[in-house]
Chains A and B, each alone.
Chain A
Amino acid sequence: MEITFEHVTHSYNADGPTASLGLDDVSLTIKDGLFTAIVGQTGSGKSTLVRHINALLKPTSGIVKIGSRVIDSETSNKNLKSLRKQVGMVFQFPESQLFEETVEKDIMFGPINFGATEDQAKESAQKMIQMVGLDESYLSKSPFDLSGGQMRRVAIAGVLASDPETIILDEPTAGLDPVGRQEIMDMFKGLQKNGKTIVLITHNMDDVANYADDVAVIHSGKLIANGLPKDIFNNNDLLKNDLLTLPKSAEFAKKLSQKGFSFSKLPITIDELGTEIKQQLNGD
């Protein structure tokens, strides 16, 4: 399911005294089956952008095409369920959306809203709790007895349970420990390999380098760059204006190149960096 933004502008409180522009003429294609990362400074409009994909926000002008659905300013708030079933959204700090008595009921909440039967939803809950790295004994617990990290996993399971084709992640690993964040990110990459489209908002450039196939850079509501991670990280204009920082491997490679190393292309992941260094050391 391809997602296309065509000249999308979004203005908050459009006709009020405190109107502010959230998105300014954004045209962007999120390709089917890819892992797209959206980066940009805080308040640049990343969250505003992704909220258009499941019509939580509607464009003030322009259109958003999600598969065969077209969303514009006139789109009614009714009949959006089928769209929201296709587009799952993990919000920032999603643990604040838990409310049921047991973890199982909370995970089943989404599928049941989208028309699954109780048995289907239960089955889905059992599958999802394992997928996010918890065992089935958690299903009967209250979500409020869990630790922050476990709550996060349950909330993510609740979104994945309705089996969306496109998954939007708004900083899903913010505030998690390093092991937890790697597990969760690997799980999302695995989902993408199984045919899901992933859209990730993040400030972590290492995640962008390691996982993303496509990067969009947003700055004050405008799309200023879009392309492959290696191209984006080689874009000196962006780096110079502090609109972007480099992943750790690329930073290290830059320091090495000051000491006489030369890289054919900027290595953005540890693996690439390792290969390059190995080649050069053997070559000498």
Chain B
Amino acid sequence: MDKIILGRYLPGDSLIYHLDPRGKFLLTFYFVGIVFFANNVASYALLLAFVLFAVYLSKINFGFFIKGLKPVFWLILFTVILQLLFTPSNNPIWHWGIFTLSKEGMVISAYIFMRFILIIFISTLLTLTTTPIEISDSIESILKPLKRINFPVTQVALMLSIALRFVPLLVDETTKIMDAQRARGVDFGEGGLIKRIKSFVPILIPLFVSSFSIAYDLAIAMESRGYKDGEGRSKYRVLSWARRDNLTIIFMIGLTIILLFLRSY
């Protein structure tokens, strides 16, 4: 669990941290979208330069981003190799059975590699610099227009923030229960498949039971503090949109224009 960097928040203080989370959230998705517009060396270089610039602005050690790649390393390698060997071509360099190695294949797999890197870096940047609660606030605020079609935005936002709040708690609880069952002689990850699956019963049942009791206690505590439903509440955390957020949007528009220019060039 400790190895995964993507999805973690790292406390810090820099321009990227102070950006409005709604803007950061949407722009990250926007960036992931425009990554697919890039189609030549110059356009990929532009996007890479942008990502590296953003990482530089965040003042976070670059090593974290490299670490963030580790869990998906095999996925990237697998996809790149598939693309490398299975791209059909008219003038292959090397050919054996169903495998083909060609110049086009190499270029396409290099692009795919770049896409992975760009997308993982930018999303790691978002989660490292934005607290989970900011993310759930932004989702609530972004989904607000859906209220018109009777989508329960406040309820979804509440569920989301409770879920996020309880993730670390449940992780702790899981570790604790695992330790307790280990002390009673359970071996996790030993023996055949069936035995391994069976050894998870003593974790899953207590975990479900304690989730029920947490849910029950939390509901009672919320009701006794006067929570009725999502309607008519005021907000404690208010997101504020500042000039720097406008600047990031202008910057993004500039980036898109240059990208579209390089693409057709």
Q: Is the CB of B185 within 8 A of A96?
A: no
CB proximity to A under 8 Å, residues B156-181: 173, 176-177, 179-181
Q: Is the CB of A99 within 8 A of B2?
A: no
Which residues of chain B come closer than 8 Å to A16, judged between CB atoms? 2-3
Q: Is the CB of A84 within 8 A of B185?
A: yes
Task: Kindly state the separation between the CA atoms of A96 and B169 in the bound complex, as whole angstroms.
Answer: 14
Which residue of B173, B183, B186, B210 is within 8 Å of A89 (Cβ)?
A: B183
Residue of A nearest to B10 (CB): A17
Which stretch (A23-31, A109-117, A179-187, A242-250) binds chain B? A109-117
In the assembled complex, B206 has its CB within 8 A of some CB on chain A: yes
Task: Give how many A-B residue pairs fall within 8 Å (CB-CB).
Answer: 62
Q: Is the CB of B179 within 8 A of A56?
A: yes
In the assembled complex, B209 has its CB within 8 A of some CB on chain A: yes
Residue of B nearest to A82 (CB): B185
Residue with the greatest number of chain A CB neighbours at <10 A, chosen from B10, B179, B180, B210: B180
The verdict on A84 contacting B209 (CB below 8 Å), with A96-B173, A96-B176, A97-B177 known, is no
Chain B window 47-73, contacts with chain A (Cβ cutoff 8 Å), 1 for yes, 0 for no:
000000000000001001000000000
In the assembled complex, A54 has its CB within 8 A of some CB on chain B: yes
Which residues of chain B come closer than 8 Å to A13, judged between CB atoms? 2
Q: Is the CB of A81 within 8 A of B206?
A: no
In the assembled complex, B223 has its CB within 8 A of some CB on chain A: no
Which residues of chain B come closer than 8 Å to A91, judged between CB atoms? 176, 179-180, 183
Q: Is the CB of B181 within 8 A of A97?
A: yes
Which residues of chain A come closer than 8 Å to B61, judged between CB atoms? 17
Interface of B toward A, CB cutoff 8 Å? 2-3, 10, 61, 64, 173, 176-177, 179-187, 190, 201-202, 205-206, 209-210
Residue of B nearest to A93 (CB): B176
Interface of A toward B, CB cutoff 8 Å? 13, 16-18, 51, 54, 56, 78, 81, 84-85, 87-89, 91, 94, 96-99, 109-110, 113-114, 144, 158-159, 162
Which residues of chain B come closer than 8 Å to A85, judged between CB atoms? 185
12 further A-B contacts with Cβ under 8 Å, apart from A96-B177, A99-B201, are A13-B2, A17-B61, A51-B179, A56-B182, A81-B185, A84-B185, A87-B183, A89-B183, A96-B209, A97-B181, A98-B206, A114-B185
Which residue of A17, A51, A113, A144 is within 8 Å of B184 (Cβ)?
A: A113
The verdict on A159 contacting B183 (CB below 8 Å), with A17-B64, A96-B173, A99-B205 known, is yes
Taking the closest CB of chain A, its distance from the CB of B65, in whole angstroms, is 12
Task: Kindly state the separation between the CA atoms of A129 and B128 in the bound complex, as whole angstroms.
Answer: 50
Task: Kindly state the separation between the CA atoms of A94 and B205 in the bound complex, as whole angstroms.
Answer: 14
Q: Is the CB of B184 within 8 A of A158?
A: yes
Q: Is the CB of B173 within 8 A of A159?
A: no
The verdict on A97 contacting B206 (CB below 8 Å), with A17-B10, A56-B179, A91-B176 known, is yes
Task: Kindly state the separation between the CA atoms of A109 and B209 in the bound complex, as whole angstroms.
Answer: 18
Which residue of B181, B183, B190, B205 is within 8 Å of A88 (Cβ)?
A: B183
Q: Is the CB of B183 within 8 A of A113?
A: no
Task: Kindly state the separation between the CA atoms of A98 and B210 in the bound complex, as whole angstroms.
Answer: 10
Which residues of chain A come closer than 8 Å to B182, judged between CB atoms? 56, 84
